[in-house]
């Protein structure tokens, strides 16, 4: 038998000296490489997080300063930075403190550049092993703010008094004004009732004078919306360098336009083409307004020129009822308590005995109001419709194509059409490109607000006449309780557009 011997090697045993060297090397690697790497990762994450929060904070502050250039820029900046990254967060300290710089970046375009800068010293924890106890991160936020021209239009008609909303309007309008930058933005105030008045002409210095003026508002009178829009438009065109800035009209109203400002000029003839009534016809009586009567020629000269205001006396668009005029169109200040101004100075004929006899002197409404606005338009009811705005067939004035003066509804429709026409003229101006916002306070029970008209005036995308090629505004309906919020919503949108 053969024997086979298998040789087995005994594993080499490490010597004690070798094991000690490995431990020393691992310890050195951990101390010199691993711990710094871990520390760098942790402290680096804190620095990155801090940098992100600081960047967001200065960006928010730059936008805030841009929105409200009326306040101290640095104070506003610090308020917003500290709100987003509080002092002492994770042991941080501000160095340097947040600051803001406002520059006229493009003066010719009315653009101002806002830069908010801040630095934060961040304590380090693991990196102290390497002698680094803190690090500083810095960030800057930049925004641009376009100077803005704002014309505020306030309806102070009698329906505001009826609804008990005059004080609410006053307080809401003042809060609106406070959103804008005194010394930089330009504001003006137009109030209207039977007439329109520029109560505070455009000015870059409007606080507190403008709010003091709003405080004096007295609500009474009819609703001459077209005249108010025209006055606001004239203010924009008068502002220096307005073509380089953002131009905005804000119209607040609580009812339907019911006053027409026109030139009632005779042509010197005794025919049915003369706006001064010189032909006998049958129309509604001024006294028994639901019945018709034969009405002869006016006592006014056929060539008389009357410039004034005709109103839908009930203010509710009644089919039959009284109409009045021709009233003095002179502006009435916001603090004046007047329902109707007196008659024009050259009053004549029948309405000298009473303004409601106007229909016996004025044969029909002219094609355009005193500002060139069309009195026929989207609200006009043709002869084929119910309760038409024209005289019926057989009347000598039927073929003139002019609106009648003996029904309140025809006057009201003319007033609405005039306001709609004036708004179109404003929006179609490519030099100033005004944007119109409308706020409609829910009307009284006898005169609800006309949502469609206010959408059209604003060129709201929901409007039946929306024109995507022209600046779009917005119509905001509200109740008295929501009026302040509606004004604030408009202010926010204006400030957003100005960025």
Lowest mean pLDDT among 31-40, 101-110, 189-198, 379-388: 31-40
Exposure string over 140-160, b if 16+ CB within 10 A, otherwise e: bbbbebbbbbbbbbbbbbbbb
What does 114-134 look like in DSSP terms, one character per residue?
Answer: EEEEEEEEEE-SGGGGGT--E
The answer to whether residues 154 and 169 touch, using CB atoms and an 8 Å cutoff, is yes
Residue 253 clears pLDDT 80, i.e. is over it: yes
* Dihedral sign from CA coordinates of 416, 420, 421, 423: positive
pLDDT score of 475: 96
88/193: higher pLDDT: 193
Q: What is the C-alpha R_g of the chain?
A: 37
Tens digits of per-residue pLDDT, 321-375? 999 989 999 999 999 998 899 999 999 999 899 999 999 999 999 999 999 999 9
Mean pLDDT of the chain: 87
In 68-155, DSSP assigns E strands to 93-94, 99-106, 111-123, 134-146, 148-155
Tens digits of per-residue pLDDT, 139-181? 988 877 777 899 999 999 998 888 889 999 999 999 999 988 8
Nearest-CA neighbor of 351 among 340, 366, 367, 335? 340
Count CB atoms within 10 A of the CB of residue 240.
11
Tens digits of per-residue pLDDT, 7-19? 455 555 555 555 5
pLDDT score of 14: 53
pLDDT score of 192: 97
pLDDT score of 155: 96
Domain spans of the chain, in order of start: 20-146, 148-499
Domain 148-499 has CATH 3.40.50.410: yes
The answer to whether residues 390 and 304 touch, using CB atoms and an 8 Å cutoff, is no
Beta strand 99-106 pairing with 111-123: antiparallel
pLDDT score of 1: 45
Lowest mean pLDDT among 10-14, 55-59, 117-121, 178-182: 10-14
The answer to whether residues 135 and 122 touch, using CB atoms and an 8 Å cutoff, is yes
């Amino acid at each position: 038998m053969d024997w086979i011997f298998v040789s087995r090697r005994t594993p080499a045993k490490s010597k004690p000296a070798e094991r000690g060297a490995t431990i020393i090397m691992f310890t050195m690697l951990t101390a010199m490489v691993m711990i710094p790497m871990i520390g760098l990762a942790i402290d680096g994450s804190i620095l990155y997080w801090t940098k992100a929060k600081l960047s967001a904070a200065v960006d928010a502050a730059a936008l805030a300063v841009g929105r409200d250039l009326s306040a101290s820029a640095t104070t506003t900046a610090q308020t917003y930075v500290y709100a987003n990254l509080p002092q002492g967060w994770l042991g941080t300290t501000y160095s340097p403190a947040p600051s803001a710089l406002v520059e006229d970046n493009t003066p010719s375009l009315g653009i101002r550049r806002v830069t908010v800068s801040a630095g934060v010293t961040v304590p380090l924890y693991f990196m102290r092993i390497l002698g680094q106890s803190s690090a500083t991160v810095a960030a800057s936020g930049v925004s641009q703010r376009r100077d803005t021209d704002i014309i505020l239009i306030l309806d102070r008609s009698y329906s505001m008094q009826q609804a008990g909303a005059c004080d609410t309007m006053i307080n809401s309008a003042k809060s609106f004004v406070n959103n804008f930058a005194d010394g930089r933005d330009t504001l003006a105030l137009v109030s209207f009732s039977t007439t329109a008045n520029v109560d505070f002409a455009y000015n870059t210095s409007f606080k507190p004078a403008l709010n003091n003026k709003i405080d004096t508002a007295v609500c009474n009178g009819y609703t001459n919306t077209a005249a108010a829009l025209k006055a606001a438009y004239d203010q924009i065109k008068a502002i220096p360098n307005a073509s380089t800035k953002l131009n905005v009209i804000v119209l607040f109203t609580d009812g339907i336009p019911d006053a027409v400002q026109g030139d009632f000029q005779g042509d010197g003839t005794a025919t049915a083409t003369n706006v001064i009534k010189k032909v006998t016809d049958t129309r509604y009586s001024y006294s028994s307004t639901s019945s018709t009567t034969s009405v002869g020629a006016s006592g006014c000269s056929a060539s008389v020129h009357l410039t004034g205001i005709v109103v839908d006396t009930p203010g509710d668009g009644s089919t039959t009822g009284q109409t009045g005029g021709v009233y003095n169109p002179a502006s009435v200040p916001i603090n004046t308590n007047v329902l109707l101004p007196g008659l024009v100075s050259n009053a004549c004929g029948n309405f000298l005995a009473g303004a409601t006899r106007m229909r016996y002197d004025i044969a029909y409404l002219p094609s355009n109001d005193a500002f060139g606005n069309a009195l026929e338009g989207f609200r006009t009811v043709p002869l084929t419709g119910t309760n038409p705005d024209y005289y019926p067939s057989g009347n000598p004035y039927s073929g003139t194509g002019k609106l009648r003066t003996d029904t309140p509804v025809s006057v009201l429709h003319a007033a609405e059409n005039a306001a709609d026409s004036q708004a179109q003229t404003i929006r179609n101006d490519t030099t100033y490109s005004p944007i119109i916002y409308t706020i409609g306070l829910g009307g009284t029970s006898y005169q609800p607000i006309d949502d469609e008209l206010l959408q059209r005036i604003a060129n709201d995308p929901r409007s039946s006449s929306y024109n995507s090629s022209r600046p779009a505004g917005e119509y905001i309906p509200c109740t008295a309780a929501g009026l302040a919020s509606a004004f604030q919503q408009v202010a926010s949108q204006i400030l957003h557009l100005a960025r």
